[in-house]
Amino acid sequence: MKKLRRKIYNIAKTAGDKLGFDLPYFVENGFWMLLNQAVSLFAGLITSVLFARFFTQEVYGAYQLVLAIIAFFSFFSVPGLNPALIRSIAKGNDGDFNISVKIAFKFSFIGSFLILVVAAYYYFKDENVVSYSLIFSALIFPFLYSFDKWMALLKAKEKFETFTKNNILITTGKSSLIIAAIFLFPDYLLPALLAYLAGTAFFNIVLHFKTKKYIENDKKGNDTLSYAGFITKLSVLNTLVNHFDKILIGILDIKALAVYSIALGLINIIKSFIKSVTAITFPKFAKYKIKISFIQRSVIFVTGIIFSLAFYFIADDLVRLLYTEKYLYSAKYFKIFVWIIPLFLISSVLSKKMLAEKNEKKLIHTKITVPVITLISSLSVYFFTKSIEWFVYTKFFVFNILNYIVLTVSFKTKS
């Protein structure tokens, strides 16, 4: 085994020297991130397939609507703390960990209150299933996002093996609860939703306390909290853009939301995989000034094209096999979405560089300019066409293409 690892290391070192990549770093740490995503991919597919097969489109659409509403209000848990914390701890300021958790927990109660307001709205509309689901969600909400800072701590410490093992624990545990709820209470929304929310909160709390042993000092960064606040304020529009499509479609046609969610879920699995792999670059960018050359970007882009082609040709069979014929229309969305993979590969790397280097000017463009243009353009398209399909395509491509343009211009270097 040691000889094999050494051989792989030497091959990665040789190829990396030619391309300008630190491939041994990616091979060593990327293995654990790939393993993490492989488990998440499998668990995500299993649960989505079971939802599609055991739930009607109405119930599955309602499930996705509730999750979208919860995710929309997640910015009250101060999500900017996560990248700010990675950046700070990578520089040796471990003392920011505990205070970040306390701040996230305190502000999360605002999100809980607003979720209860939405629950009241659905209650008076006589949509009791959605209403009760949101009430339970509001009670769990402060515990849902506040205690996930253990991920930032392990990433900053470059403990990718430990991060992967912990994440596999939370993924398998949470998925097991959801699967049990689906089998025991088929086509009932509340048990499956509670399994997801309570499972996520419980395992995050356990891993929060388990991971605290890696804190080595009580030093605090001078700008960690201000930077976290800056990122969070900017993320409000971004959060809206990421979830308003599901909320709007859910209001217009709950079955259409179920179909759209299957396609979006598949592309998000791919995007999450990419984010996980590129996440290992953040500590590098935080510690060193690293440039990304034209050749490196070209290699990444061509790799993305290859994957896009592969997913395009298997889309119909994949959806039919996993989700049955009733979700076959999801394949149409998915076959369009996959063409964003090459741009997203590059954007994912550049976004880590932007956050690590605290490029506030470009953060403003990605968090405000891009979301505003996306909102205006997609809503305008829906206003004139009344087509959910064209609304979805406009929102998806305008957001991703503009994000790519901003990030590319930000770090354009001479090859």
- Residue 289 phi, psi (nearest 5): -85, 105
Q: How confident is the model at residue 3, as a pLDDT? A: 53
pTM: 0.79
Residue 118: predicted pLDDT: 95
Q: What is the pLDDT of residue 284?
A: 59
Residues of the chain with pLDDT below 70 are: 1-34, 279-290, 292-293, 355-358, 410-415
Residue 111's nearest CA partner among 232, 209, 208 is 232
What pLDDT shows up at residue 44?
Answer: 83
**Separation in Å, CA 7 to CA 3, 14, 33, 136, 226:** 6, 11, 21, 53, 45
The pLDDT of residue 4 is: 46
Longest dimension (CA), the chain: 67
Looking at residue 143, its pLDDT comes to 93
Q: Which two tokens stand for residue 412?
A: 């354009």
Residue whose entry in the numeric block shows the structure tokens 């935080």: 286
**String of DSSP letters for 44-93:** HHHHHHHHHHHS-HHHHHHHHHHHHHHHHGGGGG-TTHHHHHHHHHHTT-
- pLDDT value, residue 346: 85
pLDDT of residue 24: 54
